[in-house]
Amino acid sequence: MDLANLSEDLTAVSTHYADRYNIDQSDDWLMLKLQEELGELTPAYLALTGRTRDRGRSASEARSQFEDELTDVIGHALLIAQRFEVDLDVAFSRKWLAYPSD
């Protein structure tokens, strides 16, 4: 999976969603939406790790919800990177991959 192509695809989906529901995808909206999605990831994580009520969900349903919410967080982070023209290859190389892995 190529991050640049994925970001473009996510932007197209997000733009369609915004048009459909008359949402102004301002810079602030993108940041607040990321925060909202992170907020949804937290209870999904707690359910996955057995630290909250299961609310009738099976372990596989809890896993699926966690994966969905994590995907939303990553997706919105990629939308922000796309909006602010962040070259993720360069940024990851500078920030994460500059350190030895052993």
The CA-based dihedral angle spanning residues 90, 96, 97, 101, taken in that order and rounded to the nearest 10 degrees: -170
pLDDT per residue as tens, the chain (102 positions): 788 899 999 999 999 999 999 999 999 999 999 999 999 999 999 999 999 877 888 999 999 999 999 999 999 999 999 999 999 999 999 999 999 887
Tokens of 65: 């919800």
Please check whether residue 37 is in contact with residue 69, taking contact to mean a CB–CB distance below 8 angstroms. yes
Domain ranges in the chain? 26-86
Please check whether residue 66 is in contact with residue 44, taking contact to mean a CB–CB distance below 8 angstroms. yes
Burial 24-38 (b: 16+ CB within 10 A, else e): ebeeeebeebbeebe
What pLDDT is recorded for position 102?
75
